[in-house]
Structure 1
Amino acid sequence: MTSTPAPVLVGCSHGTDSVPGREAIASILVDLATLRPDLDVREAFVDVQQPELPDVVAGAVPEAPAVVVPLLLSTGFHVKTDVAEAVDRPGAAAARPMGPDARLVEILADRLAAAGLRSGDAVVVAAAGSSDPEAADAVREVVAGLAARLGCPVGVGFGSGAHPRVPVAVADARAGLAPGGRVVVASYLLAPGFFLDRVHESGADVVAAPLAPDPRLAQIALDRYEEVSAQASATWSRVAAGA
């Protein structure tokens, strides 16, 4: 009896025209391959870049199961629609998005430290945003974790979809500053690109670097993969056996 091959890990991101953004996202796939050189790791995108997610999944499942890991920080349209439709076939499964996760809080705290966060500064987390309430809730869970980690209040602003928008959150934080304090933004974004450019225009005094590259991101993605890999393998095996 032929054993079931390990599921292909399809790392799926939004896609961007930003070259640094592409490099940052690609670093997650490189780190995944380093963590698990035995796995077939493939990249896919839901917009802007190629190859498109449905094509990658369709190319994998004739030979092996496939698990799509959304390299996205919360649920929303791309997870609930694009990813869900791509895995609507036997032997394919969708993992959870990257966030919320305590390790993302750790990375945000490290980025703020590297940016020179000091006592008296006001912190605002900037997220891309989504009209899906679950996405905003997921962001706020990370914000609460960061506030607990830093031991101070942390505001939140969104690039689109949800409110307050980042410039409003920055202005609100500035209104409550003590003399000498600064508004420091924690970029809850995986990579440089359109949203980070808008964050830099938000009026903040300091903008911390985005999350990637960071090897912890690959570990999160691998954990998401392992949560559903057995499910994908079992379904694929039944189909392969003609059940």
Structure 2
Amino acid sequence: MTASNPLHDESPTAPLDSTAHLMNRISSQLARQLTLVGPDGRRRPSLPALVVVAHGSRDPRALRTVTALLDEVRALRPGLPVHLGHIELNEPLLADTLATLGDREAILVPLLLGRGYHIKRDIPETVAASRVRGRLAGALGPHPLLAEALHARLTEAGWRTPHDEAGRRTTAVVLAAAGLVV
């Protein structure tokens, strides 16, 4: 059993049993508040919330993939508020995520391959129905990195590019995508 150190106990309900403890708590609270003020004395603007918009899927691997992505973003940007909203099939739904943000600013990043109906209609209408001041980023594709990832997956699956012109003209690859499972 270890005793707690009352000088470093930040609990708001901890007893103020010494002047040193009181000064420690005051300086901690002041330091937190000062991070909100810039050198010029004006309040620093808060970061916009990042809302990752996933399609949603019945396949549990999709949710695990998206959750792992968000965990990575949070680890890389610890001060950035990162949220998840699904268009359908999984919780939380985008409308519910936006409702929790109130009227703050948010950047919505859709994890969708193309600029289809969800990006043109569903997401903007959901944002318009909320109080959020939202900006929508573009779809993931087409992007050279996406093409490289697709090529790598095709190669892993056994596909080989024909070496001659005639072979390339008679070979086709069809990409069909629904949801995000990486």
Fold equivalence (TM over 0.5): yes
- Amino acid corresponding to residue 68 of structure 1 in structure 2: L
**Following the alignment from structure 2 to structure 1, what is the Cα–Cα distance between the partners of residues 55 and 86?**
5
Larger RCO (CA within 8 A; separation ≥ 6): 1
- Amino acid corresponding to residue 121 of structure 2 in structure 1: T
**Following the alignment from structure 2 to structure 1, what is the Cα–Cα distance between the partners of residues 88 and 178?**
20
Q: 2:137 aligns to what?
A: 95
Q: 2:122 aligns to what?
A: 82
Q: CA deviation at 1:120?
A: 4.1
**Residues 134-154 of structure 1, C-alpha deviations (whole Å, 9 max, x = no match):** xxxxxxxxxxxxxxxxxx456
Q: CA deviation at 1:75?
A: 1.3
- Name whichever of 19-28 and 66-75 sits farther off: 19-28
**Following the alignment from structure 1 to structure 2, what is the Cα–Cα distance between the partners of residues 50 and 189?**
14
Q: 1:33 aligns to what?
A: 74
**Residues 99-120 of structure 1, C-alpha deviations (whole Å, 9 max, x = no match):** 1111101111221232233354
Contact 1:108–1:188, Cα closer than 8 Å, also in 2: no
Q: With structure 2 as the length reference, what TM-score do the two structures score?
A: 0.63
Asked if 1:16 corresponds to 2:6, the answer is no
Normalized per residue, the structure richer in strand is 1
Q: CA deviation at 1:90?
A: 5.6
Which structure 2 segments of 5+ residues have no match? 1-41
| Alpha-carbon spacing, 1:8–1:110, altered in 2? closer, same or farther (3 Å) | same
Q: Secondary structure at the match of 1:155?
A: coil
**Following the alignment from structure 1 to structure 2, what is the Cα–Cα distance between the partners of residues 86 and 92?**
10
Normalized per residue, the structure richer in helix is 1
Report the identity percentage. Answer: 31
**Following the alignment from structure 1 to structure 2, what is the Cα–Cα distance between the partners of residues 188 and 91?**
28
Contact 2:94–2:126, Cα closer than 8 Å, also in 1: yes
Q: Secondary structure at the match of 2:123?
A: helix
Q: 1:115 aligns to what?
A: 157
Runs of 4 or more off by more than 4 Å in structure 1?
none
Quote the RMSD (CA, aligned, Å): 2.7
**Following the alignment from structure 2 to structure 1, what is the Cα–Cα distance between the partners of residues 178 and 91?**
24
**Following the alignment from structure 1 to structure 2, what is the Cα–Cα distance between the partners of residues 67 and 119?**
39
Contact 1:57–1:92, Cα closer than 8 Å, also in 2: no
Q: 1:4 aligns to what?
A: 45
Q: Secondary structure at the match of 2:51?
A: strand
Q: Secondary structure at the match of 1:87?
A: helix
Contact 2:55–2:86, Cα closer than 8 Å, also in 1: yes
Contact 1:69–1:95, Cα closer than 8 Å, also in 2: yes
- The structure with more radius of gyration: 2
Contact 1:43–1:51, Cα closer than 8 Å, also in 2: yes
- Which of 172, 176, 182 lines up with 1:155 in the alignment? 172
**Following the alignment from structure 2 to structure 1, what is the Cα–Cα distance between the partners of residues 127 and 66?**
21
**Residues 38-87 of structure 1, C-alpha deviations (whole Å, 9 max, x = no match):** 2111111111111111221232243x311111111111121112210122
**Residues 162-220 of structure 1, C-alpha deviations (whole Å, 9 max, x = no match):** xxxxxxxxxxxxxxxxxxxxxxxxx78631xxxxxxxxxxxxxxxxxxxx2xxxxxxxx
Count, aligned residues: 135
- Name whichever of 106-115 and 11-20 sits farther off: 106-115
| Alpha-carbon spacing, 1:156–1:113, altered in 2? closer, same or farther (3 Å) | closer
Q: Secondary structure at the match of 1:74?
A: coil
